[in-house]
Structures are given as C-alpha cells and as structure tokens.
Amino acid sequence: MPLPMPLPDAGRPIEYHRYSDPMVTLPKSNEPCWCGSGKKFKRCHKDSFQAIRAGKQTPLRSVPDSIRKPTWANGDAVERWDEPAVKSADVIERMRTVGREAADTLASLGTVIAPGVTTEEIDAFCHNESIRRGAYPSPLMYPGGSNPFPKSLCTSVNEVICHGIPDNRKLEDGDIINCDVTLFLDGVHGDTNATFYVGEVDPASRRLVEVTRECTARGIAAAQPGNQLNAIGRAIQDHAEDNGYGVVRDFVGHGIGEQFHTDLQICHYFHPHLTNLIEVGMTFTIEPMIAMGSWKAKMWSDGWTATTADKARTAQFEHTILITKDGPEILTTPSSTQGHPYWDLAGLGV
Ligand code: MF3
Ligand code: CO
Ligand code: CO
C-alpha cells in the first residue's frame, strides 16, 4: 500500500541503518550490461529493452449478489475504524481461511502465466477463481489513484514496482511479473503476492527474484513477538543491500484484518523510530519490493502504476502473517506447496 499516513517522525531526518544507496541506473551504451554477461550494454540487452507502457483495459467485471462485498464494491468510500492490532480468536480463524484461499488463488495463476498471455487474461482468471471460492477480489473498485482500481488483481511487469493495472499487453518471453491477490471472505482480507518468470528469464533477473524471496523470508523470520517492528526492515535491507539491491521506500506492509489496510505500517528498510513492539495476535503483511537499481519510484498518471525511476527491474513477494507466541505464522500458505516453489520458504530461514 502507499504510505498514506505520516510516520511518527515525519519531517525529521531518518538515520538509516545502512548508508549504501545503490543508485544504479540503466547503463550507457558502452558500459557493461546490467545482466552480468560482461558484454557492453549495446551488444547485449539494449535493443531488447522496452519500457512497459499502459495498454487498453476491458470494461468492469461484475460480482454476483451472493458474494459478501466490502463497502467500496459499489463505489462507496472505504469504511475506516480503529481496528485493534491484536485480533480476536474468531477473526484469526477467519483470516486463516481467507489466507489459504488467497494463496491457492495466487498459486493457480501460475498455471496461466506464459509468453503471449495478456495481463487482462490473468486478471479474468483471478476474478473467476475468487468468485468460485465465494470471495470478493478486494482490489476491484478500491479507492485511490486517479480513479478506483478497475481490476481484481494487480499485475506488475519488469520495472513496475506494484499496483500495475491488467490490460491487453501480452507477456513476453523473459519478463518477470508480480501478481498481487487479495480476497475478502467472511468479513476479513487475505493479501499475498509473488513474482513469476515468463518463459526463459536471464540470470540477473532470476537472482533478483530469488534474493527478493529470501528478503521476504528473512523479514518474516524477524517478526518475533517482543522484537521492535523495525527488526523486520533491518533484516530485509541488510540482505538486499548485501546483494547490491535497493529497497523501495514508497510502499510499505500494513496491518490487515477486517480492513484491507489498517494504520499499522511495516517499513521494509530500517526505520529507527519504528520502535513499537511486535505482539502476539497481530496480523500484518510483509511485502518487500526490491530493485536492481535505485529504490526511487515514479508514478504513472493513472495514480496507481509505480515504476522504478531508473527503469531497472524490481521484484516482490508478500505474505499475510500472524504473530504467535512461537513466532510468525504465514496465513497465506497454499493448501499444497508441492510444485509451487514460490511458497516454500523452508530452507530460507522460515
Ligand atoms: N494488495 C496491495 C497491497 O499489498 C494493495 C492493492 S490496492 C489496489 O497492499 F487497489 F491496487 F488493488
Ligand atoms: Co499488502
Ligand atoms: Co498485496
């Protein structure tokens, strides 16, 4: 989610835990290619580099009357109240269910992602799959941007950081695409995303995606009761910067439950003033966006699509987690991780 509320220290300078700020931009023609081939950029990826541009969107899809909807489904504002950060046993049980359904939906998208498929087709699949599970796709008509979000899924390709709007652009061999699924079921939301490979992806992009998955796992592992909230960002930033990558600052993780986004914010970089303690019963997302170059972002005029300012590629993974006395529990794990390496965080420290 965007950073809507000023952080407690807004206006004051932030001392980052690390000072390295890899301000990499797309290489000049005669500089080495970003992919690590050792060849000059002009002899390697330069010709194939095509910035993502907005395509055409299809009309709004409908959701059957039988499906319980959030207030924004029919154009009303988001209802906001002071939802407790620590959830009741009843809310937690419902969040386990929606978390699994969201994860199963996300995993199923992996079966349609291929070169030549449009992001619109992936959205249609996600929309139908949400409804089949009795859930409302939370992004649909969500207020924000220049207009409410018009689709049921966010699809963010290559240099798009997040909140890309599905359209008629066909996926190309070598693309990376993040799909971000949120479902609303039985009064609660479950929010999860993953970055997928389209066909044959170059080694540098694969490394970015793999390190981003590790960053997510390390952030989750740091979400222990009694830790300060900033332990999560520290773990993520350390690993990203050790690998020469930047951590996007303009979008953060968030508290989640009966509301899609509560006022609890989870920075994915070390933020010294986020000293509030992680408590048993909290539910929030961890969703680091990691960039091959600079963390600086730019927004399209649609008010939703965010890209890296330097057009270097970026990847993201997201889970909704519950803090238990034994540590973090991932609520957005699919029923079976078999054949879905994206959700298997074993061996990554979680
Ligand atoms: N799922 C996104 C998140 O992780 C939010 C998407 S809002 C939308 O917070 F309107 F763009 F769908
Ligand atoms: Co989220
Ligand atoms: Co999300």
**Helix/strand/coil for 66:** coil
**Helix/strand/coil for 107:** helix
Q: Is the C-beta atom of 180 inside 6 A of ligand 1?
A: yes
Residue with CA at minimum distance from ligand 1 atom 10: 139
Atom of ligand 1 nearest to the CA of 304: 11
Atom of ligand 1 nearest to the CA of 181: 1
d(CA 180, ligand 3 centre) in Å: 5
Q: Helices then strands (H, E): number in the chain?
A: 4, 15
CB 136 within 8 A of CB 69: yes
Whether pTM exceeds 0.85: yes
- Position 106: which residue type? L
The domains located in the chain, with CATH, are: 80-343 (3.90.230.10)
Residue with CA at minimum distance from ligand 1 atom 3: 1
User: What pLDDT does residue 47 have?
Assistant: 76
Atom of ligand 1 nearest to the CA of 138: 12
User: What pLDDT does residue 16 have?
Assistant: 43
d(CA 139, ligand 1 centre) in Å: 6
| DSSP string covering 275-339 | -PBP-TTBEEEE--EEESS---EEE-TTSS-EEETT---EEE-BEEEEEETTEEEES---S--TT
Pairing mode, if any, of strands 253-254 and 306-308?
Answer: unpaired
Structure confidence by residue, pLDDT tens digits, 89-109: 999 999 999 999 999 999 999
CB atoms within 10 A of CB 199: 13
User: What pLDDT does residue 10 have?
Assistant: 40
d(CA 289, ligand 1 centre) in Å: 13
Q: Which two tokens stand for residue 110?
A: 């992996």
- Taking the CA of 3 as reference, the closest ligand is 1
Which residue of 119, 142, 165 sits with most ligand 1 atoms within 8 Å of its CB, as the best mutation to test the pocket?
142
Atom of ligand 1 nearest to the CA of 139: 12
Q: Is the C-beta atom of 139 inside 6 A of ligand 1?
A: yes
CB 208 within 8 A of CB 292: yes
How far apart, in whole angstroms, are the C-alpha atoms of residue 178 and residue 257? Answer: 23
How far apart, in whole angstroms, are the C-alpha atoms of residue 209 and residue 203? Answer: 10
Q: Give the single-character DSSP code of 65.
A: T
How far apart, in whole angstroms, are the C-alpha atoms of residue 96 and residue 190? Answer: 8
Q: Which two tokens stand for residue 230?
A: 């900033």
Contacts of residue 79, Cβ cutoff 8 Å, sequence gap at least 6: 70, 71, 259
CB 202 within 8 A of CB 228: no
Flag residues of the chain having pLDDT under 50.
2-24
Phi, psi for 42 (deg, rounded to 5): -65, -25
- Helix axes 89-109 and 119-132, enclosed angle (nearest 10): 140
Residue with CA at minimum distance from ligand 1 atom 7: 139
What is the residue whose two structure tokens read 């005029």?
301
Q: Is the C-beta atom of 175 inside 6 A of ligand 1?
A: no
Structure confidence by residue, pLDDT tens digits, 205-255: 999 999 999 999 999 999 999 999 999 999 999 999 999 999 999 999 999
How far apart, in whole angstroms, are the C-alpha atoms of residue 100 and residue 88? Answer: 19
User: What pLDDT does residue 46 have?
Assistant: 80
Mark the residues whose beta carbon lies below 5 A from ion ligand 2.
191, 285
CB 167 within 8 A of CB 56: yes
